[in-house]
Structures are given as C-alpha cells and as structure tokens.
C-alpha cells in the first residue's frame, strides 16, 4: 500500500517566485492536512481539506498562501511571491475520516522549501 | 486555545536503559486525544503511541508506554530497553475530540542513544 506521497522532496525558489507543493494521500483517504515545520520547531497546523472543500484554514497565513484538494488529483499547497521566512519543511498528512475515533494521520515525507 | 509544552529540548540514554520524556498540555476540554510522534533524521513522522483522554488505563506499545495524568495534564513517554534506532526527535501532540482533528504539537525533545 502506498503511503502519503509528497513532491517534490526538495524545492528551491528565489524570492518572489511561486512554490507549488503536491500531496497525494493514502488511497481512499479523503481528508488532508498541511503542516509547516520551521527549523528546530514542532509542526504547526496550516489547513485541513476534504475533497473540494476547505474545512479549517485557521493556521494559514492570510496572504500568499492557498490550498486546494480537487475531486481528482493531489492536494496542492501554493505559496505566491515566496520570502525567506517561508523556508521550512511542509508536511502533508491524510486520514480516512473524521470522527470520535482517533483515526491516525498518516504523514508524508515532507517537502523542504528553501528560498534564496 | 490548547497548548503543548515539552520542557526537555534534549535527552540522552544508554542503550538498553530506560528514559522518560515529559509533556504537559493545557486545555479546557474534557475529551481529547494525545499522541507521541517520532521524527528520525529522515524527517518522516511516525506515530509511536496514542491515548484517549476518556480511558484511565495508560497506553502501551511494546517498549513504549505512557504515564497519563489527566488532572495534572501530563503525558510522559517511557521508552524501555532503549535501542540505537530510537534516536530521533520526539513530539507530543494534542487533538481535540470536539473540533476538527488538527494536531497541536510541542516543540520536541531530541533523544540521543549511546551504545
């Protein structure tokens, strides 16, 4: 069984460029979460999506960041006009459903974004 | 808002010995879940153990066990018979049972294991 896949694993962008990070959840999972990990810090929640819907974007910066999870295809985290402070590891996780049971969030290997 | 605190930035243990990593959290909720994740140098996040707040019994997974003190809002991880492969960053995480299931992470504890 394929786990959560993220690509690219490493991404280098110059200041002002756009970064597009892709996440393919575990097959059959319809819930996706994006987290950001700054150097020497824990993961910080950014956004929670279901297919075609944003459920919770309370952790997303108000500007330059957007996320989508279309009916077909991977989830995309898009960062426009990147700045040096966006340099971080971005992790995607997926789970099969929301509910009282603590469904595990399966994490991908992360994308390390470096802004030069 | 809920917070998770890990007060030990680094810990070390001798191979085959036991080590305990601390985690405290703050919440006004009565129903929630707690997790310990391991992040080795590969950066892959691996779930080590989970605990439901409504369960009094402490969770165990092989060499890993927790000491869950709900009143004290404490959730420590004990690793027995430590192995070299246990060396990693360990993150404590909180998830509300009432809200969306986003995870709130602590800042992590780096565990070194010496032969």
User: From the candidates A33, A91, A102, which should be mutated to test the interface with B, based on the most B CB atoms within 10 A?
Assistant: A102
Six token digits for residue B56: 């009094």
Query: Averaged over B31-48, what is the pLDDT?
Result: 92
Nearest CB partner across the interface for A102, out of B37, B46, B50:
B50
Report whether pLDDT(A71) > 60. Answer: yes
What tens digit of pLDDT does each residue of A8-25 get? 999 999 999 999 999 999
- Cα–Cα distance between A95 and A104 in angstroms, integer? 6
Share of chain B above pLDDT 90, in %: 83
DSSP string, A61-111: -SSSEEEE--SSS-EEEEE-S--GGG-EEEEEEEES--SSS-PPPEE---E
Q: What is the mean pLDDT of chain B?
A: 94
Contact B108 A41 (CB under 8 A): yes
Closest to B53 in 3D by CA, of B2, B106, B108: B2
CB contact under 8 A, A42 and B101: no
- Whether the pLDDT of residue A70 is over 80: the answer is yes
Predicted confidence (pLDDT) at residue A69 exceeds the cutoff of 80? yes
Confidence of residue A74 (pLDDT cuts 50, 70, 90): very high
Model confidence at A44, in pLDDT bands (50, 70, 90)?
A: very high
Which distant-in-sequence residues (6+ apart) come within 8 Å of A17 by Cβ?
A: A81, A82
Are A42 and B47 within 8 A, CB to CB?
Answer: no
What confidence tens digit (pLDDT) does each residue in B63-114 have? 999 999 999 999 999 999 999 999 999 999 999 887 677 899 999 999 999 9
Alpha-carbon distance values, B42 to A51, A75, A84, B15 (Å): 29, 22, 23, 21
**Length of chain B measured in residues:** 115
By C-alpha distance, the chain B residue nearest A42 is: B107
Spatial distance between the Cα atoms of B98 and B48, rounded to a whole number of angstroms: 23
């Amino acid at each position: 069984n394929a786990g959560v896949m993220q690509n690219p694993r490493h991404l280098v962008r110059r200041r002002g460029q756009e970064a597009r990070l892709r996440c393919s959840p575990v097959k059959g999972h319809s819930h996706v979460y994006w987290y950001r990990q700054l150097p020497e810090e824990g993961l910080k929640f950014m956004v929670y999506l279901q297919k075609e819907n944003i459920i919770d974007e309370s952790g997303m910066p108000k500007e330059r960041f957007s996320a989508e999870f279309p009916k077909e295809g991977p989830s995309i985290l898009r960062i426009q006009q990147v700045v040096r402070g966006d340099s971080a590891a971005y992790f995607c996780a997926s789970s099969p459903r929301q509910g009282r049971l603590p469904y595990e969030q399966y994490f991908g290997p992360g994308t390390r974004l470096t802004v030069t | 808002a809920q917070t998770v605190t890990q007060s030990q930035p680094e810990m070390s243990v001798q191979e085959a010995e036991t080590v305990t990593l601390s985690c405290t959290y703050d919440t006004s909720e009565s129903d929630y879940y707690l997790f310990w994740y391991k992040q080795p140098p590969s950066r892959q996040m691996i779930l080590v153990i989970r605990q439901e707040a409504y369960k009094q019994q402490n969770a165990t997974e092989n060499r890993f066990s927790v000491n869950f003190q709900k009143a004290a809002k404490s959730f420590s991880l004990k690793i027995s018979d430590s192995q070299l492969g246990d060396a990693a960053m360990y993150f404590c995480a909180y998830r509300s049972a009432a809200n969306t299931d986003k995870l709130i992470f602590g800042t992590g504890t780096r565990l070194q294991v010496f032969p």
